[in-house]
């Protein structure tokens, strides 16, 4: 949490690959908000995507739903 506060970005290793594990980790940081994406969102590459979020193109640092 100190590194997240200091730099605004952290990489966390060893988290089990399940939706519930991701939600549990997120809730340790703060409350999750339900959006039209759901409580969490799985980043993925889709063929012929109409949204850059579903491609492998570089997206850069950003925040959704400010």
At 14 the pLDDT is: 93
pTM of the model: 0.61
Provide the domain limits for residue 43: 2-54
At 58 the pLDDT is: 84
Q: Is residue 46 part of a domain?
A: yes
The count of structural domains within the chain is 1
Q: Are 65 and 35 in contact (CB under 8 A)?
A: yes
Which string of DSSP letters, residue by residue, matches 5-53?
Answer: HHHS--------SSHHHHHHHHHHHS----BTTBSS------TT-SSGG
Q: Is residue 65 part of a domain?
A: no
Please list the pLDDT of the chain residue by residue as tens digits (66 residues): 999 999 988 999 999 989 899 899 999 999 998 888 788 887 778 888 888 878 888 878 877 765
Q: Is residue 64 part of a domain?
A: no
């Amino acid at each position: 949490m100190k590194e997240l506060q200091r730099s605004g970005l952290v990489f966390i290793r060893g988290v089990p690959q399940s939706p519930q594990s991701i939600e549990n980790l997120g809730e340790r940081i703060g409350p999750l908000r339900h959006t039209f994406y759901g409580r969490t969102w799985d980043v993925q590459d889709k063929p012929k995507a109409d949204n850059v979020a579903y491609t492998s193109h570089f997206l850069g640092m950003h925040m959704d739903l400010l």
